């Protein structure tokens, strides 16, 4: 069974700064963490689920990456990785085709008390409200 093996930051050519990344097996995934987002990840049934939560904005994003998605974007491992050697790599980005995304904000965020949900509860809520 696949697990999250390391986290750190990657650098994209022409980018303004490094991006948060997660390594599962020998693939690196870039979930698109914003500046104030807290991030939580889990792997289940060959899918990397990412919870990005900006409580100040009242916005929570669930992103789902199939572990079968191809790596299409060149990047360089930047810093933070403890179990992964520095290298130029190909990554799966949140902008790639095949990444599923659910955004909850505004009235839906307030009504469902999204801000206080645990990770598992949030993902189940997303499934129930598709």
Domains of the chain, by residue range, sit at 4-128
Among 53, 54, 45, 38, CA closest to 1: 45
Beta-strand relationship, 59-66 and 88-93: unpaired
Q: Which residues contact 19 (CB under 8 A, 6 or more apart)?
A: 9, 10, 11, 12, 30, 32, 33, 75
pLDDT at 13: 84
pLDDT at 14: 79
pLDDT at 35: 86
CA dist 69 and 117 (Å) reads 28
pLDDT at 29: 97
Query: Within the chain, which residues score under 50 in pLDDT?
Result: none
């Amino acid at each position: 069974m696949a697990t999250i093996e390391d986290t750190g930051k990657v650098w994209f050519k022409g980018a303004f700064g490094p991006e948060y990344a997660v390594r599962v097996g020998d693939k690196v995934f870039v979930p698109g963490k914003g500046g104030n987002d807290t991030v939580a990840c889990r792997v289940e049934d060959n899918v990397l689920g990412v919870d990005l939560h900006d409580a100040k904005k009242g916005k929570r994003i669930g992103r789902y990456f199939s572990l079968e998605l191809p790596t299409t974007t060149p990047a360089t491992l930047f810093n933070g990785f403890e179990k992964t050697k520095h290298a130029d790599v190909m990554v799966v980005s949140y902008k790639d085709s095949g990444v599923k995304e659910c955004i909850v904000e505004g009235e839906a965020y307030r009504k469902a008390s999204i801000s206080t949900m645990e990770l598992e509860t949030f993902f189940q809520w997303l499934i129930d409200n598709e």
